[in-house]
Amino acid sequence: MHVVGHATGVPALLFDFDGLIVDTERTFADAVIEQVRLHGGSVTYDEMSHLFGTTEAGHLWVELVPRWCEGLTMEAIAPHLAATLPAINDALDPLPGVRELIDSAHALGWRIGLGTGSSRETVTRRLERHGLLPRFDEIVTRADVAEGKPAPDIFLELARRLTVPPADCLVLEDSPHGCVAAIAAGMRVIACPSVVTAGCTFPDGVERVATLLDVSLPAPRD
């Protein structure tokens, strides 16, 4: 079990959303894999894993889908994804350890934030379904900042809104892009990869855990 070191003041725990709180990266990847297969191509998680964790990779999806299946385009499969995935993702339960870690952070007096590339409407809807929305002190989305991950903007804005110094923020991420963003923001980070990003290479010095159940938080120092 990973025990995080003490912060100098009231610390903050910053969550990513997709792939960390809910397993939406797996559902998206599975849907793409299915569409590629139905059109005669093939692709694996490892071949697309570097595209997750950032909103800045849209052009790469456009470039890569035709490589995975000749004649197929991202534009062609996007309507199917848009029509089927929202209902599937809305029904997903939180991943193991999410509730437990939020409860632990609250009990210990940590501030809690969420930094995501998803839309506020989507995140709000899914957190409300599980009664988790009130547990977050602040939420920052891609629309709230100049640049998305791997730029540090989302996490720096979260720290500003929470009035917690970046050095006293612990970020939980499932992707290398998110870890790079946290490091650039001057924050500590623990990687909890999703099934899609499990094969990725993470930045040097980033500790990995299998689930959020493996993270233990200490009480803040006075």
Task: Say whether 168 is catalytic.
Answer: no
Burial 167-178 (b: 16+ CB within 10 A, else e): ebbbbbbbbbbb
Which two structure tokens, joined as six digits, stand for 90? 């809305």
Q: Is 174 a catalytic residue?
A: no
Q: Where are the alpha helices (DSSP H) in the chain?
A: 24-38, 45-48, 58-68, 74-90, 98-108, 120-129, 153-162, 176-184
**Number of Cβ within a 10 Å radius of residue 210:** 11
Side-chain half-sphere of 38: how many Cα atoms within 13 Å? 9
CB atoms closer than 10 angstroms to residue 211: 13
**From 16, 137, 153, 174, active-site residue:** 16
Measured distance CA(185)–CA(115) in Å, rounded = 12
Measure the CA–CA gap between 133 and 95, rounded to whole angstroms.
15
* β-bridge partners, 115: 140
* Cβ partners under 8 Å of residue 220, min gap 6: 6, 7, 9, 10, 11, 108, 109, 110
Rg value, the chain, Cα: 17
The set of catalytic residues is: 16, 18
